[in-house]
Chain A
């Protein structure tokens, strides 16, 4: 189908002075893409915290950094979401109603639940108060987290923007992979203090990057020329490269079973009882951004001594450097991808050819099917044809 579409010349259809037919998304940069990134990150961190709680069992150490990262990302994301509104003071109008037909309404409630659960879990981990409630909240964030990371794909896909609506199958996987990779990056960086705890971070990072890469590849193939806005967007391309590179680096960093690579019992995906300072991808990004290897090693060593406190700071190995580079690349990749998705959506909405071409094909196919039927049931079946035209199983049909 992609091949058929590729042969449709854009100029074949008329337009009104080349003007857009639909309105492009008006959401702003950096608010909207950062909300997408932070919400995804928070969801994956909440999920990781919950899985760690389950593995540790009752009374086990809380997955402190995962809890903290989930709460901080949710809070920051919510801030960007509110700032994005035309009337921020009316944000709470979102919570006046629950509308299942609106992914944004569903998402507001998910964000409220997830934000509340992660805040409680993080608060409990930091203060040591209400450990049982904190654990319950962390477990709850394992339910809200995956929804938090993927609902935004439904949010953008439920629009008339062709590059978004037609990508409704792959976008959730793209966002899920990106969220996992971002959370993996947090795990890797916080694992600097205790290398053995970086193992789950590296795995999440590598697997997440793989999911994201496969999803975007499948999407571009299935959508044919409708995916051109993705292919042509620099942010999207940068995101793909960074994600792939970060994923490979994360996998490489985990390859050799070095002396410190053994599996020690104890802490969660990230070290228990550590402050959030260990978990921030941004610091990793600065530490490793293109500097000479020596500077990077020094920075990592400094970071390690900072996190590890009493532990002696030693020169970091290549594996750790690769891990930090992977974390930086994955974080940058996840952010770039979200910017790319927004920009590709805008470009897709701006060009009437993406709307007129596929819709005319769809119309022609339906009329041909109608003509082939007996005249008696023409009216009713035409309606059914219309209803199924946009169904989830129909590839690259062009959206409304």
Chain B
């Protein structure tokens, strides 16, 4: 229907205000995720999870700060969606990935399938939750709550093609200004997940922010995996025939 929408999170201008985390909780009515002092700089949220759909990472690295607002990547080839046995996870008309909470039966398969560790099952609720890219707001013609609230435009929302152009220009500008550590993450449609619908400009290696350097959608190997399973199944038949051989007839 409409063109593919996405997030471009430019971490070089993130100020760590967590307005995105708050806006997300408010709009989506996400329950609290515990109040703990984690001693990980200003990050008391920890990681993305069932009740954390935007997560601001803080790294104090000697000469300064690294801050980054993480989110579901809305992968082109989404493992969570591939493995979901109920069809609860689906792809919307905006090419985003959303869980239908009335269909999810809490099987938990999507949780270890996501190569970014995004989606999780909520204790007590029994269902899987993650960022919807504010599906309801999108349908109403509004931008997602986090992007709306972000005071520095670190979180940018728009048609993915447009965002990719903007990001390429931004990284070129930073390189020209001598910030050669700037790099794009998840913008490449040729990467292991077919490119992210939510991609990033990072100022350090991805793993510094807790992101996998080269994520892969494991369903790519599904045909090979079924072939190995078929070989094992056939060997079971062979063993059983052998085991019962030579006793009668």
Known contacts A23-B114, A26-B108, A90-B105: A101-B82 contact under CB 8 Å: yes
Q: Which A71-98 residues have C-beta < 8 A from chain B?
A: 84-88, 90-91, 93-94, 96-97
| Residue B227 CB within 8 A of the other chain | yes
* Chain A residues close to B by CB (< 8 Å): 13-17, 19-27, 43-44, 47-48, 51-52, 55-57, 84-88, 90-91, 93-94, 96-97, 99, 101-105, 107-108, 142, 145-147, 149-151, 153-155, 157-161, 164-165, 168-169, 171-173, 175-176, 179-180, 184, 199-201, 203-204, 207-208, 211, 263, 265-266, 269, 345, 349, 352, 355-356, 359-360, 362-363, 366, 379-380, 382-383, 386-387, 389-393, 398-400
- Asked whether A22 and B117 contact (CB < 8 A) given A99-B84, A356-B207, the answer is yes
Contacts of B210 in A (CB 8 A): 15-17, 19, 21, 352
Knowing that A19-B47, A22-B212, A360-B207 touch, tell me 14 more A-B residue pairs with CB under 8 angstroms.
A21-B211, A25-B112, A55-B247, A86-B107, A87-B127, A88-B105, A93-B86, A103-B225, A173-B231, A263-B247, A269-B244, A359-B215, A391-B220, A400-B214
1/0 per residue, CB under 8 A from A, across B149-185: the answer is 0000000000000000000000000000000000000
CB-based contact A399/B115 at 8 Å? yes
Please tell me if the beta carbons of B220 and A387 are within 8 angstroms of each other in the complex.
yes
| A392 and B221 contacting across the interface, CB-CB below 8 Å | yes
Q: Is B191 an interface residue (CB 8 A)?
A: yes
Taking a contact as CB atoms under 8 Å apart, the answer to whether B87 and A359 are in contact is no
Note all chain B residues with C-beta closer than 8 A to A349: 112
- Secondary structure class of chain A's binding surface, majority of residues: helix
The answer to whether B115 and A204 have CB atoms under 8 Å apart is no
B242 at the binding interface (Cβ < 8 Å): yes
Whether B112 contacts A184 by the Cβ 8 Å rule is no
Q: A97-B86, A102-B85 are in contact. Are A383 and B189 (CB under 8 A)?
A: yes
A-B contact pairs, 10 of them (CB 8 A): A15-B207, A23-B111, A57-B249, A86-B108, A97-B86, A101-B219, A150-B236, A175-B232, A203-B244, A204-B243
Closest 5 CB pairs of A and B: A86-B106, A392-B224, A86-B126, A383-B190, A400-B115
Q: How many whole Å from A148's CB to the nearest CB in chain B?
A: 9
**Cβ B108 vs Cβ A22 within 8 A:** no
B207 touches A149 (CB 8 A): no
Residue numbers of B with Cβ under 8 A of A are 40, 46-47, 49, 57, 59, 79, 82-88, 103-109, 111-121, 125-128, 188-193, 204-205, 207-237, 239-244, 246-249
A86-B127, A101-B82, A400-B218 are known contacts. Are A203 and B120 too (CB-CB below 8 A)?
no
Q: A399-B216, A400-B115 are in contact. Are A200 and B239 (CB under 8 A)?
A: no
